[in-house]
Chains A and B, each alone.
Chain A
């Protein structure tokens, strides 16, 4: 499959172990398409953070709710769409975890890392859908 565009639609339960199995498949497909270790790290981290958000904050770990994932990999770029069945959220409402008053708060760093490591990030609908892209040779957009 090396070099061939790869696309998959997956629905997983609200279970972090299932999310990790999916991440392993994504990693294998990225390797097969020649992505280097830094790009793979960036994508793995962003997908991990987004799936944890979907399962924990979106679906509230509800075993009756699912997370829907569509990802596409070409030699040029990685695209993923992650949809949970929760009420959604407004990313602008999440406190900035880099300011002093929030530095000890546990939330918000995942969103920051997603933006930092991916080339494009967008939230859709009521905020329960996120699309993320990474250009294979692109630099992280928010890293200083």
Chain B
């Protein structure tokens, strides 16, 4: 367990129309190295794969610290810069409090479930 984490898949991306629906493989978005890799994979969706509508589904996530928030803001800004949109959905109550306390719920679009997320683009 102490070995270096491999470059494994951390995101599952499904295309629904022109929307990239992203599920997190890990239940905890915590470790700094993991967060860096998750960020890289998310940015690649926009910078290299040209996605303009990204829906992040947090249904599988039960813990997240502030270190991940910066990546989400950067992703939000990247999509804004290309007239795209980021939507977050299915966030557990405790994690939703993380967004509320940091007031990021005011700049990010958050919906209760995936269906309403898809409809918010």
Which residues on A are within 8 Å of B, measured CB to CB? 16-17, 20, 37-38, 41-42, 44-45, 48-49, 52, 97-98, 103-104, 106, 109-110, 112-113, 116-117, 140, 142-144
Number of A-B contacts (CB under 8 A): 58
The reply to whether B31 and A117 form a contact with Cβ atoms under 8 Å apart is: no
Report how far A49 CA is from B102 CA in the complex, Å.
Answer: 13
Which one of B73, B77, B98, B107 has the highest number of Cβ atoms from chain A below 10 Å of its Cβ? B98
B contact residues, total (Cβ < 8 Å): 23
Q: Which 8 A-B residue pairings sit nearest by Cβ, starting from the closest?
A: A116-B101, A109-B66, A41-B94, A98-B103, A106-B70, A110-B66, A109-B102, A48-B65
| Secondary structure dominating the interface of B | helix
Which residues on B are within 8 Å of A, measured CB to CB? 2, 30-32, 63, 65-67, 69-70, 73-74, 77, 93-94, 97-98, 100-104, 107
| B104 neighbours in A (Cβ, 8 Å) | 103
Which one of A37, A45, A97 has the highest number of Cβ atoms from chain B below 10 Å of its Cβ? A45
Task: Tell me how far the C-beta of A60 lies from the nearest C-beta in chain B, rounded to whole angstroms.
Answer: 15
CB < 8 Å neighbour of B30 from A41, A48, A109: A48
The reply to whether A17 and B69 form a contact with Cβ atoms under 8 Å apart is: no
| A44 neighbours in B (Cβ, 8 Å) | 63
Task: Tell me how far the C-beta of B32 lies from the nearest C-beta in chain A, rounded to whole angstroms.
Answer: 7
| A144 neighbours in B (Cβ, 8 Å) | 100-101
